[in-house]
Amino acid sequence: MPRLSVIVPTWNEAGAVTGTLAPLQAARAAGVEVLVADGGSTDDTVARATPLADRVLRCARGRAVQMNAGARAARAPVLLFLHADVVLPPGAMEAVLDGLERSGRGWGRFDVRLAGRHPFLPVIAALMNARSRLSGIATGDQALFVRRDWFRALGGYVEQPLMEDIELSRRLKRRGPPLCLRERVMVSARRWERDGVARTIVLMWRLRLAYALGADPAHLAARYYPDHPQVRTPS
């Protein structure tokens, strides 16, 4: 039985999924389970993911829906949810398992590094890491990991179109504080570079504030994806 299962939700991620899954192959050889939960991709995502994963699951689209499907299929006692455009650092699996065992905690996340050329990206990443450490709230880009019994006890992700990671973090935090690993995952900065750093910061803070004040996640998702409101998973 694997000690850790990595769950990767995908939807039309042919350009990124190989870069995410290829670094996991040494861990697979060492017994880590890798599951891809695909939400009906129409590009080559499934074909590229299949030789690099233990299973590729076909699911309804929606990141929370897909991650819950992956969690149900997972066999390990620890689950790690990895976005399809995020790359884990070397030694990530050992850091998770050893960290949970030493700390006695039930969940956690990594620090982030934003992959891109904009000079403000390192500053943004540092602020994201500090905010998460102070608040005890993790976002999906931080490769959230959790003991499976905790995840099941909470009912998994709330299957909403946005902020599912924030919602899960809130509920996990009530059970115990996160393990904040300083190892850094590499996160694609494609949205920051496409839409502009300042504009993206303002948008994200507005959405998070609106969610905290009780806004409907479906309405927030339409604002997050103005060009493709039918897409239910953030990129």
Per-residue pLDDT tens over the stretch 180-222: 999 999 998 877 777 777 788 888 888 888 888 888 888 878 8
Asked if residue 106 is part of any domain, the answer here is yes
> Does the CA dihedral 184-169-69-222 come out positive or negative?
negative
Per-residue pLDDT tens over the stretch 34-52: 999 999 999 999 999 999 9
Residue-by-residue DSSP string for 32-73: -EEEEEE---SSSHHHHHGGGSSEEEE--S-HHHHHHHHHHH
- Per the structure, the count of domains in the chain is 1
Give the structural domain span for 143.
Answer: 5-190
> What is the per-residue pLDDT for 233?
39
CA atoms within 13 A on the CB side of 172: 31
> What is the per-residue pLDDT for 227?
58
Residue 79 pairs in a beta bridge with: 5, 146
Asked if residue 205 is part of any domain, the answer here is no
The answer to whether 161 touches 216, Cβ cutoff 8 Å, is: no
Q: Mapping DSSP to helix (H, G, I), strand (E, B) and coil, where does residue 186 land?
A: strand
Asked if residue 105 is part of any domain, the answer here is yes
Q: What is the pTM of this model?
A: 0.91
Asked if residue 11 is part of any domain, the answer here is yes
> What is the per-residue pLDDT for 232?
39
* pLDDT beneath 50: ranges in the chain: 228-235
CATH number, domain of 47, equals: 3.90.550.10
CA distance 129 to 49: 29
Asked if residue 150 is part of any domain, the answer here is yes
Asked if residue 43 is part of any domain, the answer here is yes
| Average pLDDT in the chain | 92
Asked if residue 97 is part of any domain, the answer here is yes
Asked if residue 35 is part of any domain, the answer here is yes
The 10 Å Cβ neighbour count of residue 208 is 16
CA distance 39 to 11: 5
> Does the CA dihedral 16-22-23-27 come out positive or negative?
positive
CA distance 64 to 55: 18
| Burial class for 228, CB neighbours closer than 10 Å (0-12, 13-18, 19+) | exposed
Token readout for 38 is: 């695909």
> What is the per-residue pLDDT for 201?
80
> What is the per-residue pLDDT for 171?
97
